[in-house]
Amino acid sequence: MKYNIRGNNIELTDALRDYVEKKVSRAEKYFDSTTTTEAHISLSVFRDEHKVEVTVPFPGVLVRAEESSENMYASIDNVVEKLERQIRKYKTKVNRRFRQDATLRMPVAANGSASSHGVETGDDEESAGFEVVRTKRFNLKPMDIEEAILQMDMLGHNFFVFSNAVTDQTNVVYKRKDGRYGLIEPE
């Protein structure tokens, strides 16, 4: 795994860099092939808050977590624990579904690379009096509703756009205020 470590208001010492790489590399054991995977780690300090953000696009799933505390090393430990919990939860659900449905396709593309949600930001645009401050473009990976909800939860978002593998249409799943999930699909 390759590491892209950035610091904001903090000096990245070799000891800190080695600690981050050692801890984040623990997540590699959950996946078969991680040689081309690049982990994006951001360390920042603002007042007395030490914040760590980690994003790792593993084959078939994008894992993201952030934690903050009064100590940078504690923040790193906490964010790695959070990543491992997310990965274990994902793997457990995928394995359970695979055992239940032998015809389930694996969440990795045929070429072995992650085919989901490569985000690209565009220039600022203005439309009908409303200011668009960010544009995202991404590939819609065909998946079922349960996998879309899992991806949404792992990203920490409250909605997720995906291509429904059953209907071949673009759908949106979202988290409702009551904690349950909703689905938006075209007529």
Helix/strand/coil percentages in the chain, nearest 5: 30, 35, 35
Report the range out of 34-38, 76-80, 112-116 with the highest average pLDDT.
76-80
**CATH 3.30.505.50 domain range(s) in the chain:** 142-184
- Contact between 81 and 63 under an 8 Å Cβ cutoff? The reply is no
- Mean pLDDT over the full length of the chain: 79
Q: Report yes or no on whether pTM surpasses 0.75.
A: no
Give the separation between CA 57 and CA 67, rounded to whole angstroms.
Answer: 18
Q: Give me the CATH code for the 142-184 domain, please.
A: 3.30.505.50
Give the pLDDT confidence of 41-70 residue by residue, as tens digits: 999 998 889 999 998 887 777 888 889 999
More confident: 89 or 164:
164
What's the confidence (pLDDT) of residue 101? Answer: 62
Task: Report the DSSP pairing between strands 2-8 and 38-46.
Answer: parallel
Q: Is the pLDDT of residue 94 over 90?
A: no
Among 187, 108, 91, 94, which residue's Cα sits nearest to residue 146?
94
Give the pLDDT confidence of 100-135 residue by residue, as tens digits: 665 444 444 444 444 344 333 344 333 345 778 888
**CATH 3.30.160.100 domain range(s) in the chain:** 2-103
Task: For domain 2-103, say whether CATH 3.30.70.260 is its number.
Answer: no
